[in-house]
Every structure is written in C-alpha cells, then in structure tokens.
Amino acid sequence: MVGALEIVAEPSLNVHAEMTEHIVESCEDEFGKCLRIWNEHHLRHEFAHAWDKIPPRKFFFGLLPDGDATIKHNVPKMNDTWVKSVNETYFAPKGYYLSLFVWHWSNATGKSETVIPMMRFHSHRSHEQNAEC
C-alpha cells in the first residue's frame, strides 16, 4: 500500500465530503501518481455516485439510516463492481490498483466501535518485489 483516502464517517457517513489523505512514509511519489489518476478521471465523484446507487442500510423499523451497517454492506459490493472496473480501466495499466477497506477500531474500554471506509492505493511493483514502494 502506498497511501489511502479516508472517507468521512463521523459524525455521519458522507461520501461527498473531502477525503483525508494518509501517505505511507517513503511512498509519496507512488501515492502522488495514484492521486493524479484519481483526480484526472474525476474518480472521487464517480465513487460517490456509485456508492449512492446502493440503498443504505436502516434501523428503527427502516426509518433511520445506519452508517456502520451501510459501510460494512457497501464495501464488498463496491470492490466487486466499481473498484474492479476502475482498476481495469485506469489503475492496472499504470501498475497500480485500488481496494476499498473497512477500518474499524474500538476504544480502550471496548464498548464502542468506529467504522471508517478507506480507499487504499497499491502498487503492483511493491507487491511483486515485496518492498514498501
């Protein structure tokens, strides 16, 4: 992995908000190349549109959206469809690929869980060479 974009999930899921960049140290150049592909093809907008096509999960008799359940449900669907298509079309020809990941963690007491979707950027070269970048 050369970097990731964190999708806003707190206080509520917002796939249209600016995403937070997470750069793997020493992989800045590789991550920059991935972000150029991401930006040149307006993939942030495409991602949000594809995500919005999947109905959100709801609770309380189907009246209220459940952000965590929606994230856990949508990530595998997006990886099988939109992410796969984007990889084949834009990233694989350049030696990169995306993966959407559910990052979740609990606080020290273990009573609450935070669920955050992350768009991860990978380099085929680093994977093949088993190196960081």
Q: Is residue 32 part of a domain?
A: yes
Owning domain of residue 8:
3-107+118-129
Q: pLDDT by residue (tens digit) across 54-89? A: 987 767 665 566 778 889 999 999 999 999 999 999
Q: Is residue 112 part of a domain?
A: no
Q: Which residues of the chain have pLDDT under 50?
A: 128-130
Structure pTM? 0.84
Strands (E), 1-133: 3-6, 20-23, 58-59, 64-65, 96-106, 113-123
DSSP class of residue 92 equals G
Q: What's the pLDDT score for residue 111?
A: 57
What are the residues facing 115 on neighbouring strands?
A: 104
100 vs 79: CA distance, rounded Å: 6
DSSP class of residue 94 equals G
Angle between helices 67-78 and 43-53 (to 10 degrees): 110
Q: Is residue 113 part of a domain?
A: no
Q: What's the pLDDT score for residue 34?
A: 97
Q: What's the pLDDT score for residue 105?
A: 75
Number of folded domains that form the chain: 1
Rg of the chain's alpha carbons, rounded to an integer?
16
Burial environment of residue 72 by CB neighbours within 10 A (0 to 12, 13 to 18, 19 or more) = middle
Q: Is residue 102 part of a domain?
A: yes
